[in-house]
Amino acid sequence: MASAETRRLKLWQGRIETEVEIAGNGPPLIYLHGPWGLAPDRAFVARLAAQNTVYAPKFPGTSRGDTEAAHALDSWLDLVVYYAELFDALKLAAPAVVGHSFGGLLAAEIAAASPKSVGRLALIDPVGLWLEDHPVQNWMILPSKTRRSFLFADFDSEMAKRFFDAPADAAERVETQAQFIWSQACTGKFVWPIADRGFAQRSHRIAAPTLIIWGDADRIIAPVYAREFAKKISGARVEMIAGAGHLPQLEQPDAVLKVLSGFLGK
């Protein structure tokens, strides 16, 4: 894997600065993180970089020193156009785009708005649809007593415990917790209080080959949604990940990487 680089891009009439973490060699892949920021996904992103040049932008508002950037985007239209500008600035032609949870919906919206801008699309437990019988759990108001069991299949695992852990060092603790909470605040702006903003009306525009990956024990957004996404996206294939909750890339990274590399390598 090539040495990692962080590029800082000032876009959107100078109102948004975005750090993009870049690593690896191979075909370009954009990774869009979920509601908890890029930090929890770094180990997974590093492994993705074994076969791809991975570009992992931080969501507007979550880059260091630019916490107010989310206020420069007011709608899904703004957000998708902003990401088009970001893709242009990275000079990537039809990269693969992988997104998790909120980042999955973001990836899917980009692929629907601008079908030629995405070469391949992989969605890991994406939000964005709504089934009356299976309401999506609001991940921003999880009780501290039970939140691990909402996110992880094995909620007593070290991984599950680490996810909510804060570093012992006081300054580091504040920084880590603030990032963790603020990432939810910034991404939540576009899906609060219900993560259904009409993607189903736009989904038919997606042209990229699409893989839908789902933790079979996801308690945020039930696995039944995997089929629902597949119904809405023409030609989409579903891979269920056993022993994973809402964050299969953390809980079962080997299995996720296996299905992803099969899909991306085609």
Partner 1 sequence: MKVCMFHLMPYRDLPSDFVTRYDSAFIDPLWFDVADSDKVGEYYNATLDELLYAAKAGFHGVCTNQHHQNVYGFMANPSLMGAVLAKATNGQNIAIVQLGSTLPSTTPPTRIAEEYAMLDCISGGRLVAGFPTGLPSDAVISNGIVPIEQRERFREALALVLKAWSAREIFAWNGKHYQLGMVNLWPRPIQQPHPPVWIPGSGFSSTAKYVVEHDHCFCHLSYFGAKNAKAVTDRYWDHAVRMGRDDNPYRLSFLQLIGVAETDAEAEDLYAEHAEYFFHKLLYSPQHYLAIPGCLEYDGLVQSLQSNPRAGVNPLELKAKDFYQRGYVVVGSPKTVREQLLDGIKELRMGHLLALLHFGSMPTALCKRNIDLFAREVLPYLADQWDDKYEDHWWPERLKKKRAAAPAMAAAS
Residues contributing to the site for partner 1 (CB under 8 A) = 67-68, 70-71, 74, 140-145, 147, 173-174, 177-178, 181-182, 184-186, 188-189, 192-193
Beta bridge partners of 16: 11
Residue with smaller CB distance to partner 1, 9 or 185: 185
Tokens found for residue 223: 């696995």
Beta bridge partners of 10: 17
Tokens found for residue 88: 């242009």
Least Cβ distance, residue 35 to partner 1 (angstroms): 9
| Coil vs helix vs strand at 245 | coil
Cα distance between residue 232 and residue 253, in whole Å = 26
Least Cβ distance, residue 214 to partner 1 (angstroms): 25
Least Cβ distance, residue 4 to partner 1 (angstroms): 26
Residue with smaller CB distance to partner 1, 9 or 142: 142
Least Cβ distance, residue 139 to partner 1 (angstroms): 10
Instruction: Give CA angle at 44 (36, 240), nearest 5°.
Output: 85
Residue with smaller CB distance to partner 1, 173 or 237: 173
Residue with smaller CB distance to partner 1, 3 or 171: 171
Least Cβ distance, residue 101 to partner 1 (angstroms): 14
Least Cβ distance, residue 173 to partner 1 (angstroms): 8
Residue with smaller CB distance to partner 1, 26 or 188: 188
Element containing residue 123 per DSSP (H, E): strand 120-124
Beta bridge partners of 9: 18
Tokens found for residue 37: 């920021």
| Phi, psi angles (nearest 5°) of residue 19 | -85, 130
Distance of CA 61 to the CA centre of its chain: 15
Residue with smaller CB distance to partner 1, 145 or 266: 145
